[in-house]
Amino acid sequence: MTEPMKPSYWYCDACSRLLLHGEYRFNCTVCDNYDYCEQCITTVDPPHPHRMVLELAYGREETKECANVDMATAIRAAIAMYSDRHCMGIRDVDKENPSIYMDSYSWFTFKTIGNRSKNFGHGLRHIIEPRGYLAICAGNRPEWMITDFACIFQSMSDSGLSIHFMGDIEQAGFIKNGSSGFPKGAMISESAYRATFPRWCLPSSLERITLSYRPLAWAADRDAIITTFLCGGRTGFSTEDPSRLMDELALVRPTYFGGPPSIWNKIYTEFKISLALITAHCQPEAIADEEKRLLQQFSRLIPNRCKSIAMGGAMVSPVVFNFLKQCFTHCSVNESYGITECGSVAYNNLVENSLQYRLESVPEMGYTVEDEPFPRGELLTKTPQMFSGYINNPEETSAALTEDGFFRTGDIVELCASRNGQINIHVIDRKKNFFKLAQGQFISPEFLQNIYIQSPFVEQIYIHGDLLSDSVSAVIVPNQKYAQAYAIEHNLIDFNINNPHPELINAILQDLHSIGEKESLRKYEIP
C-alpha cells in the first residue's frame, strides 16, 4: 500500500494550493516567503517581476531527542529524519568550461551525504585503525564534511592540518591562529564537542540555510554546518574566491550570515566612499536623502531571506556596527563572542548561561577589577565546551589554563550590569595587542584603527609605535577611488596611488587629525 503524500510547510502564492512534501517550488529572490508551484510558474500572466529559483518543499518530521548521545548517533538521527531534504550544495559550473561558474547551485540530500559518509568510513577502516588519526587538507566542499562524518562514525580523529594528533578521548582538532607565534591545534573532546550542539532534532517551518566560506579547520564554520545539519537545514559551499563571495551570498541566500570585521569593514568602506563622492557637490539639504537612497541600495547586499547577521572573531568598530544596524534593517544585527578553546562566551554582550568566569587585573595596562564605574581586566572562562589542551604543546597548554581549570582568553573586558540585572561583557582590548611609546603610554592599535577607518581616504590602516616614538605612526592603504577623485578635484597632475602627491598626503593626515579631535583622542594617539 502506497504511503499518502504529506503536506509541506509551503503553499503556492498564485493558486493557494498547499504544496506536498518533496514537491518543487519556485521561490522569489526579492519578496519575502513568496512561492509558485511548478504549474503556476509557467501559466501566471503577467509573470512575477522578480527572479524565481527552484527549491524543495518539505513538511513535518517526528521530533527526536539527541541529548546524552554521542555525535555519531546525533548525526545518524538527523540523516534518518531529514533523508529526502536538501543538505549540502555546490555551485554549478559550465559543462564545456568548468572554470566558468553558473548562477545556480546543485544540492545533495541528507540520504546521499549519509550514504557517502558511511561508505567512505568503511573504506577508511581498511587503511586506518580505529581511534587512528587522519588529516583533512581540502577547501570548503561537501567532501570535507563527508570525511568529517566518516571519521566520527568510525571513531577516528580528524584535523585541518597534517599534524601529530590527540589522545584517546579526543574527537576533533581545530586550528587556532592566535595573535602571535605559530598556530596551535586545540583538542576538543567528544563531550565538549557535543555540548556545542542542540539537544533536539526539531522539525520547523523555519528554514535554516548556511553559506560556508571560512576555513573548516576553524571551529566557527564547522560548528555552523553541523548545527544546521542537526536542525534539518542546508549548507551551500563557496568557491573560496573572495571576489565571488557576495555573488554566492546572493545565490545561496542564507537565513543567517556571520562574518569577521574585515567583511563588514569592507562594506562600510565602500559605503562611506560612495556617499562622500555623491555628496561632494550636493546641497546640504539633499545629503540626508542621498544617504537614505544609498543605504537602501547597500541593504540589498544581504539577501531578503537572511534574518540575522553577526560579526565576531575580532574587536568590532562601533562606527561599523552602527552602520550595519542603519543599513540592514531587514535583519537583526548581532555581535558574537566565542573562542575556539571554550566555545561561546557572549551574544550581543550578554554572558552565556553555561559560562563560569572571573576577571584578573592587568595593572601594567592600567586595568584592574577595582576600576570604576565598572571592573576591568583579563577574562578567564570555564565552560562545558572547554578544550583539553593544545596538540603536542604542554607549555602553551600550561600557560593557557589556571590551576583550577579556567582558560586565559587574553581579552581585556569591562563588566557592566544591564537594566534587567544580567551581566554585559564588553571587549575593550587584547592583552598581547598593545605597545608602549617613549613616555610610557600604552597604545591599543586595534582601538585606534577602528576609529580611523571612518576616514573616506582609508581603505586599510595599521597603527604602529615603539619605545623610541613620542606618538603613533600610521601605515595607510588609501582608497583609490576617493584619492583619485580628490586628485582630480584639486588638479593634482600625474596622479599615482603608489607615489602620492604631497598635497594628498597632507589631506589624509588632516582628515585623521580631524577624526582624532572629534573622538577626543590624546595627542600621541594621532599620527
Q: What is the pLDDT of residue 168?
A: 37
d(CA 162, CA 508): 46
Q: What is the pLDDT of residue 163?
A: 34
Is 422 in the same domain as 439? Answer: no
d(CA 103, CA 10): 24
d(CA 427, CA 143): 37
Q: What is the pLDDT of residue 162?
A: 34
> Which of the 8 DSSP states describes residue 363?
G
CA 424 to chain CA centroid, Å, is 21
Given 216, 239, 254, the domain boundary residue is 254
Is 131 in the same domain as 5? Answer: no
Q: Per residue in 509-520, is it b (16+ CB within 10 Å) or e — as a string?
A: eebbeebbeeee
110 is written with which cell numbers?
541528507
Is 360 in the same domain as 384? Answer: yes
d(CA 289, CA 296): 11
Is 470 in the same domain as 515? Answer: yes
Reduced to 3 states (helix: H, G, I; strand: E, B; else coil), residue 339 is: strand
Q: What is the pLDDT of residue 63?
A: 60
For residues 157 and 130, the answer to whether their CB atoms sit within 8 Å is: no
159 is written with which cell numbers?
584535523
Q: Which residues of the chain have pLDDT under 70?
A: 1-4, 61-68, 130-132, 156-182, 198-205, 495, 497
d(CA 158, CA 137): 10
Number of domains in the chain: 4
Q: What is the pLDDT of residue 166?
A: 37
d(CA 314, CA 279): 32
What's the CATH number where 365 sits? 2.30.38.10
Closest listed residue to residue 323, CA positions, set 273, 280, 379: 273
d(CA 25, CA 114): 25
What's the pTM?
0.85
Given 378, 398, 430, the domain boundary residue is 430
Given 9, 27, 60, the domain boundary residue is 60
Residue 365 corresponds to which amino acid?
Answer: M
Segment 365-378, tens digit of pLDDT = 889 999 988 999 99
Strands 157-159 and 133-135: parallel
Q: In the chain, what's the furthest Cα-to-Cα distance?
A: 86
Across 223-375, the runs of DSSP E, i.e. the strands, are: 234-237, 256-259, 308-311, 332-339, 343-347, 350-351, 356-360
Is 249 in the same domain as 380? Answer: no
Q: What is the pLDDT of residue 160?
A: 44
Q: What is the pLDDT of residue 161?
A: 37
Q: How many CB atoms lie within 10 A of CB 163?
A: 15
Does a structural domain hold residue 266? no
Is 249 in the same domain as 105? Answer: yes
Does a structural domain hold residue 454? yes
Q: What is the pLDDT of residue 4?
A: 58
The torsion angle over the Cα atoms of residues 478, 483, 487 and 493, rounded to 10 degrees, is 50
Q: Which domain holds residue 121?
A: 62-254
Segment 179-225, tens digit of pLDDT = 555 677 888 888 888 888 766 555 555 789 999 999 888 888 899 99
> Which of the 8 DSSP states describes residue 285?
G
Q: What is the pLDDT of residue 203?
A: 54
Is 228 in the same domain as 92? Answer: yes
Does a structural domain hold residue 290? no
For residues 184 and 393, the answer to whether their CB atoms sit within 8 Å is: yes
Strands 35-37 and 170-176: unpaired
Task: State yes or no: cis peptide before 198, omega within 30 of 0.
Answer: no
Is 98 in the same domain as 47? Answer: no
Look up cell 577623485; give the residue: 485
d(CA 239, CA 50): 26
421 is written with which cell numbers?
540585572
